[in-house]
Structure formats: C-alpha cells, structure tokens
Chains A and B, each alone.
Chain A
Amino acid sequence: MKTRRLATLGAVLGCTTALATPAAAEELTLCWAAWDPANALVELSKEFEAESGHTMNFEFVPWPNFADRMLNELNSGGKLCDLLIGDSQWIGGGAENGHYVKLNDFFDAEGISMDDFAPATVYAYSTWPKGTPNYYALPAMGDANGWFYRADWFADPEIQAAYKDATGQDLREPQSQKELLQIAQFFQGREIDGKTVYGAAIFTERGSEGITMGVTGALYPWGFKYENTPGSYDMEGAVNSPEAVEALEFYKEFYETATPPGYTNSYMGESLDAFKSGQVAMAMNWFAFFPGLYADPDIGGEKIDFFVNPPQNQAGSTLGGQGISVVSYSDKQDAALEYIKWFAQPSVQAKWWELGGYSAHNSVLNDPGFVDSQPFAGDFLEAMNDVQDFWQEPAYAELLLAMQKRVHDYVVADQGTAKEALDLLIEDWTETFEDEGKL
C-alpha cells in the first residue's frame, strides 16, 4: 500500500524513480476474475514464490465487473497488474493497443513452444491476428460453457416414470438442444421433496456478457455464423440466417418456459445459486466451476453429473477461458515473464489441473489418465473440440454490448421478433466495422 502510494506520488511529481532493479525480489500483482479457479491459482503460485523469491499479490474482480474494470485499467495505462489473465476476446485490443507484451521472442528464448498447447486454446487465447504466429498470451485456463444436472433426480424411478408418461421417452442426458428444453420443461414447476423446482438456470445477464454467452450456446449448435466468409465482415444472411432466428426463438422459449422466476438478469453466480439451493434440475455454466460443484458437500458427488452443450444441427459450445499476458505498463516485466516461464512447465500444468484449473497443456490433456481423472474431464475434451468464440476484434466490447442489448431486448424484455433483433444487430455491427474502417 504505502510503497505504491509513494510510487504514485513520485510519478505525479514527475520524478523518474530508479527503474526496476534487476534480480531483486519483486512484488508481482496478478489480476484475474474472482472465482473458484482463482483460489486454486493462489495455491499453485505459492510454489513460484518459494522458487523465485518474488511475492505474488492478487487482484480478483467479480465477473460482472471484471471486463469493465480491467479494460478501464488497461486503457488508463494503469500499473496495477503486472500479469493479467484476460478474457479471450480482449486479445485483439490488448495486442493492437499495446496493452500486452508480445511474447514471441520470450517464447523462443525460453524454448516454450505453442505446439505443446491444445491448438484451439492457442488460437483463441494467444494469437492476434487470429491464427497467425503472433503470441500475446500463454493459454492459462481452457474453458467452455457446459451443463450440470441433478443426477439423483434423473435417477429417481418415480421421476423417470413421470417423464416417460409425459414425453414417451427415457429421461437421460439430453442429446439435442430440443431434448434439453423438453427435460427442462418437464421439471418446470414440478414438486420434488415437497419443494417446487424449475427446469434450468440459463444466462440472461444484461450488464456484461451473460446473455450473449448463454444464447450463443443455442446459436452455435444451430449453425450460426458471424460472417458468410471468414474475414469478410459480410454478415447479412449469416448472423440472421433462418437457423440463427430459430435458435434465438428457442432460447427465448427456454427462458419463458423452463427457468425459475426472477432469473431475468442472471449469470454465473445466479446459476450456481439456483442449482445449489435445489431450485433447478439443470444449469448452464462454465467448466471452471465444475470441480467446485463436484466437491460441494451438499449437491456434489453422487448427486451431480455433467454434460456437454448438446448439439442440434451440429455440435457447438461457447468458448470461455483465458490466456495469461504480461501488461506492457508494468515496471516488473522481467519478473512477470519469469512467472509465465514457470507456469508453462508441464509439472506445474499437471498440478494446475489437479488443483482445479483447466490446463491447456498437451502433456496434461493427452495423458491417458486424464479422461477418468474427473467426471467432467471427458466432457471438457469433447467441448473443446467444437468451441466457437465471439468476435475477438479490438472493437469487441462494442460488438458485445450491441449483442447484449439486442438479445436482452428480445428475449427478456420481449420486444420485436427474433429476426428483427438479429437484423438490428447486423446494423449495429456494420456501423462498428465501418467506424473501424473494415467495411
């Protein structure tokens, strides 16, 4: 606290204080979202502290404020974070606006190869422009949006019989989006153990990215595309394709007929709450939470099981996850790079997975024991095969906010039709790309 304030004072007075002394023990600050995996990372980082002599501080921001606060911090050239585990969509802005240090030379010098990481994660978390060998982050945490459900309810013979009666089918992990909805509708309003329960908790949050992350879970399996030809920004007919319209209508129906009352603005936390309080049969959420859920003494263990976002016309999951970057405004870049070097080691990556983080390292993922190491490990691999991400453009925030508005207006506020919402979305996005000079 005090040193930081003095440093600020120094900066204010225009004094150039001596530049970071090399080899000295530094105090590094790592910024990330406040969630289960962050606690695991604190645990993991103790080893780094012991090995390197540096001290690690952490600044964890709750998800609804994470993007807002961290992007604000980067845009104001703040020195708060030396290391940042930033969301995948930030990579474009981070690279183009010079917030992130380019890591290619460092990787070459230290013998860190991106071939050692799962290709989907390298593509999504590290590269800019997309798919080129220009790296601005090391894949830190693989993630996708998946589902979990009350295995104890699904296994209950009475409930199974009732489901058979109602639908003529067996109650099982859904194999399609429509089956998912059918099961959710079956549970909606049902009495179980003397309590009224509901179908599923889905993402409907307006403020940050919630409803977009939720609705893309329906859009991708229906075959939604951002552009007709990748890189062309030609969206008419792709973003508002008949499949996209159908998927959006599906999500609205899901919201209206199979979610608990009052979940009009819910994201990760609300989804977890709904499930933990026994209100819902199923819930969508990021794989990142699954270790914590499985370990939960009340609803974990035997009572819970997991499935990949079900396919419809095709398989598709919404990508989450982050890479770890060095912030270019940091005065302690050398120590920060040391951390990345340490983190990239296979042994550390293995421990990372063990503690509840999702390693993206091939040595972990390809390990023959991986699939059986956790009940959701296989699902995770499956999901990561078919992940798609939102725009990662430098203007991503604008694109995302437009989608948040259009989708929330339609799904939750019940304005207009699905087609109109997507048409308006194309208008918004076209305007943004025109401003960007890309159209």
Chain B
Amino acid sequence: MSSTPIDRVAQATPKKVARRIKGLSDRAIAWIFVAPTIFLLLAINIFPLIWTIQLSFTNYRANRLNREVENIGLRNYERILTDSDIWLNMQATAHFLFWTITLQVLIGFTLAWLIHRNFKGNAFWTTVIVLPMMLSPAVVGNFWKFLYQPQIGLFNYIVSFFTGRDPSSFQMLGDVDLAPWSIVIVDTWMWTPFVMLICLAGLRSIPDYIYEAAEIDRASKFRQFWTITVPMVLPFLMLAVLFRGIENFKMFDLVVQLTGGGPGSTTELTSINLKREAFEKWRTGYASAYAIILFVTVFGLASIYVKALNKVKER
C-alpha cells in the first residue's frame, strides 16, 4: 500500500515537493498537481464503477465466499425491470421527488423574493433559515421521528391545536396515506433554504436598469414580475431543481431514519430498497445491476435536463 501516490503525496511536505519540482516545466507541474486527484478518483470512483458493471452480470453474493460465481448475462437486469415491487419503489421515489421539488421551489422562491426586499436584518434571518440544510439528515431525521409521535409528538400537537383534531387520532409515519407526506414535509423543511439561496442569487443578478426601463415604459409591477423577474431567475431556479432532483433521487439517510421504508413499503425509496438488496439480502450481483440502472436513469434524466436548461439560458 505504501506505494500508492495518494500516500506519497499526502506525506510529502510542500517543501520537498518544491525542491523536487523546481524548474520543472509547466506541463510537468500541471500533471503532478492533477495526478493525485485523478488517481484517487480512479481508485475510489472509476475502478469501483467498472467493478460494479462487471458484477452486475453475475450472481455474486458478497456474504457467500465459498459459492461459485456464475456469469448470468443480463438476467439481473431482466429481473429488476420486470419486478413490479421495484416499480412501486420507483413510484414512491417519483412522488417524493415531485412534491419536494414543487414545494421547495414555491416556498424557496417566495422567500427569496421577500428577502430581496432588503428589509433590515435580512442577512441574519437568511442565516437562520439556512441552518436546517447544514445539519446531519440522519440525526435530524431521527429526531423528527420523535416529533411525529402520535399524542406525545410536537407535530401532532401543533396540528391538533390548529385543527382541533385529537393528536392521537392520526399518525404521520404509520399511516399509509400520510407517511409519504411526512417525508416530504421534513425534506422540504430541510432543503427549501437551498432553493431559496439559489433564487436569491438569481434575483440579485438582475441589473436594476432593466426594472428602471420597465418603469419608464409604465409596466405594472405585476407585469414586471412575469416579464422580467421570472424569466431572469428561471435558469437559476432550474439549476436548483437539478441539484435537488439529483440529491433526492439518491435520498437515503433522512427517510431511512424516519420511516425505514414503511409502513409496508409505502415510503421505500429506491435507495432504501437498494440497501436492502445489497447489504441485507447480500445479492451483490443483483444489487449491482440495480445500481447501474439507477445511475443510468439519473445520468440520462440529468443530461436531458441540462440540455433544456442550456436552451433556457440561451434565450
């Protein structure tokens, strides 16, 4: 192991590096600077990815070392794509994605728009609002489970305070109809600030003279909003959606802590299902194929989306 460049680079003090590469050509320096990063990515990202692809054609199980590994071609892919339960997981994921993004965009944009009024103390309150997204989703999600407890939980109590419903008459995490919403609520609480910040950057990028020109043309505030503010912020907003989309497609920690996929399998997002296949059932080959399918899905959707985004930007 001591021969890996990562170790060598990590151990070498800048001084030594300096002495060694003094007088080296720019080209050499460029490669010396880039090489460790590339090597690390090759070792911990690319090589494993290739390995995953290779495993996805086998029936390998990481917990059965004495078992013969067979090459079974595309059978894993076939099984996954025809498994109706996995399609249900995909649906749960889609529901989660759609609603978290919708809510976050609506609330996030509104907040950014309000903050952009530049009221006194807006910097401080922006920071406060941003706090949830800086925290560990697993730790926070675990505590939200407590807030959602029927009867003793604060969430149910607050709902009952405003609606008059008995706080033990409903359960956010245990009810088939409510559980998908309970995870949407927490994710929205946590990540709306992110959308807000991006939108705020968008709003601040709009030069004042555009509005001034519109004023001279006597465009109404309403019209200004729809013809200037929204189109100018749209590329930013779309970026925020891209990031949230990718992140929430990968969603694991928060939901696993909240519902663990339950009740039944109603909130079993693809990542949670993948974890069960890979690290509880130990169907490594099968899970690898699953992972590749997910990766291709995200990558494909993201690429299409980025194309659309570039068109919007060009306009």
Residues of B within 8 A of A (CB): 1-2, 59, 62-66, 85, 149-151, 168-169, 171, 173-176, 259-266, 276, 279-283
**Residue among A68, A96, A98 making CB contact with B280, cutoff 8 Å:** A68
Chain A residues closer than 8 Å to B283, beta-carbon distance: 398, 435
A-B pairs with beta carbons under 8 Å apart, 11 shown: A14-B2, A75-B63, A75-B282, A97-B64, A98-B65, A264-B175, A264-B263, A265-B263, A398-B281, A405-B264, A405-B265
Mask, A136-161, CB within 8 Å of B = 1, is 00000000000000000000000000
Establish whether residues A261 and B150, one from each chain, have CB atoms under 8 Å apart when the complex forms. Answer: yes
User: Is A298 an interface position by the 8 A CB rule?
Assistant: no
B304 CB, min distance to chain A CBs, angstroms: 33
Q: Are A261 and B171 in contact (CB under 8 A)?
A: yes
Question: Counting CB contacts under 8 A, is A414 at the interface?
Answer: yes
CA distance A264 to B260 in the complex (A): 12
User: Chain A contacts of B85 at CB under 8 A?
Assistant: 405
- A385 to nearest B CB, angstroms? 33
Pair A397/B176 contact, Cβ less than 8 Å: no
Minimum distance in angstroms from B92 CB to a CB of chain A = 12
Q: Which 10 A-B pairs have the closest CB atoms?
A: A413-B264, A264-B174, A262-B150, A409-B264, A206-B262, A207-B260, A398-B281, A75-B63, A412-B263, A413-B263
Name the one of B174, B259, B280, B281 contacting A262, with C-beta atoms under 8 angstroms. B174
Q: Decide if A414 touches B176 in the complex (CB within 8 Å).
A: yes
Chain A residues, Cβ within 8 Å of B262: 206-207, 264-265, 408, 412-413
Question: Which positions in A face B, CB cutoff 8 Å?
Answer: 12-14, 68, 71-72, 74-75, 93, 96-98, 206-207, 261-265, 394, 397-398, 401, 405, 408-410, 412-415, 435
What is the CA–CA distance of A409 and B176 in the complex, to the nearest angstrom? 10
A397-B261 contact, Cβ under 8 Å, with A14-B1, A96-B66: no
Q: Are B281 and A408 in contact (CB under 8 A)?
A: no
Query: Is the beta-carbon distance between A394 and B59 smaller than 8 angstroms?
Result: no
CA distance A336 to B262 in the complex (A): 40
Is there an interface contact between B264 and A408, defined as CB atoms closer than 8 Å?
yes
Residues of A within 8 A of B66 (CB): 96-98
Asked if B168 and A415 sit within 8 Å, CB to CB, the answer is no
Greatest chain A CB density within 10 A among B62, B150, B173, B265 is at: B265
Chain A residues with Cβ below 8 Å from B279 are 68, 72
14 additional A-B residue pairs with CB within 8 Å, beyond A265-B262, A405-B85 = A13-B2, A75-B282, A96-B64, A207-B260, A261-B168, A261-B171, A264-B171, A264-B173, A264-B174, A265-B173, A265-B260, A394-B64, A413-B265, A414-B176
Query: Which of B59, B264, B266 is packed against the most chain A CB atoms within 10 Å?
Result: B264
**Judging by beta carbons under 8 Å apart, are A397 and B168 in contact?**
no
In Å, the complex CA distance between A68 and B281 comes to 10
Main SS at interface, chain B: loop
- Asked if B265 and A409 sit within 8 Å, CB to CB, the answer is yes
Smallest CB-CB separation from A424: which chain B residue? B85
* Interface contact A397-B280, CB-CB below 8 Å: yes
Residues in chain B near residue A261, CB distance under 8 A: 150-151, 168-169, 171
For the complex formed, measure the closest distance between the CB of B284 and the CB atoms of chain A, giving whole angstroms: 10
CB distance from A132 to the nearest CB of B (A): 18
CB contacts (< 8 Å) of B65 on chain A: these are: 97-98
Q: Are B168 and A262 in contact (CB under 8 A)?
A: yes
Distance of A263 Cα from B66 Cα, bound (Å): 41
Chain B residues with Cβ below 8 Å from A207 are 260-262
Residues of A contacting B168 in the complex (Cβ-Cβ under 8 angstroms): 261-262
Inter-chain CA distance A13–B175, complex, in Å, is 52
Residue in A closest to B68 when the chains form the complex, CB atoms: A437
Of all chain A residues, which has the CB nearest B62? A75
Residue contact B174 to A397, C-beta cutoff 8 Å: no
- Output the least CB separation between A406 and chain B (Å): 9
Contacting residue for A397 out of B169, B175, B266, B281, CB 8 A: B281
Q: Cβ of A405: which chain B residues have Cβ within 8 Å of it? A: 85, 264-265
Which residues on A sit within 8 Å (CB–CB) of B175?
264
**CA–CA, A412 and B64, complex, Å:** 33
Contact B280 A435 (CB under 8 A): no
> CA A334 – CA B148 in complex, angstroms?
49
Complex CA–CA separation, A337 to B125 (angstroms): 62
- Tell me the smallest distance from the CB of B112 to a CB of chain A, in Å: 37
Whether A206 pairs with B280 at a CB distance below 8 angstroms is no
**Complex contact B265–A412 (CB within 8 A):** no
A12 touches B1 (CB 8 A): yes
A206 cross-chain contacts in B, Cβ below 8 A:
260-264
Q: How distant is the Cα of A12 from the Cα of B6 in the complex, in angstroms?
A: 14
- A410 partner residues in chain B, CB cutoff 8 A: 264
Tell me, in angstroms, the Cα distance from A75 to B64 when the chains sit together.
Answer: 8
Q: Give Cα A19–Cα B244 distance, bound, in whole angstroms.
A: 51
Bound Cα distance from A397 to B63, whole angstroms: 11
**In angstroms, how far is the closest chain B Cβ from the Cβ of A201?**
14
**Residue of B whose beta carbon sits closest to that of A279:** B151
CB distance from B198 to the nearest CB of A (A): 35
Known contacts A97-B65, A261-B151, A401-B280, A415 near B174 by CB under 8 Å: no
Contact (Cβ within 8 A) A13 B1: yes
Nearest CB on B from A283, distance (A): 18
Most buried by A among B62, B174, B175: B174
A414 to B171, CA, bound (A): 15
How far, in whole Å, are A282 and B57 apart by their CA atoms in the complex? 51
How distant is the Cα of A351 from the Cα of B169 in the complex, in angstroms?
Answer: 48
Q: Which residue of A lies closest to B272 (CB)?
A: A207
Beta-carbon contact of A415 and B149 below 8 Å: no
Q: Kindly state the separation between the CA atoms of A166 and B135 in the bound complex, as whole angstroms.
A: 54
Q: How far is the CA of A97 from the CA of B64 in the complex (A)?
A: 6
- Residues of A near B259 (CB, < 8 A) are 265
**Which partner residue on chain B sits nearest A432 by CB separation?**
B281
Question: In this complex, what residue of B is CB-closest to A196?
Answer: B168
Decide if B264 touches A415 in the complex (CB within 8 Å).
yes
In chain A, what residue has the closest Cβ to B264? A413
CA distance A413 to B92 in the complex (A): 14
Q: How far apart sit A435 and B283, CA to CA, in the bound complex (Å)?
A: 10
Q: When chains A and B are docked, how far (Å) is the Cα of A415 from the Cα of B175?
A: 12
Distance of B184 from chain A, by nearest CB (Å): 18
Which residues of chain B are within 8 angstroms of A414 by Cβ–Cβ distance?
A: 176, 264
Contacts of B265 in A (CB 8 A): 405, 408-409, 413
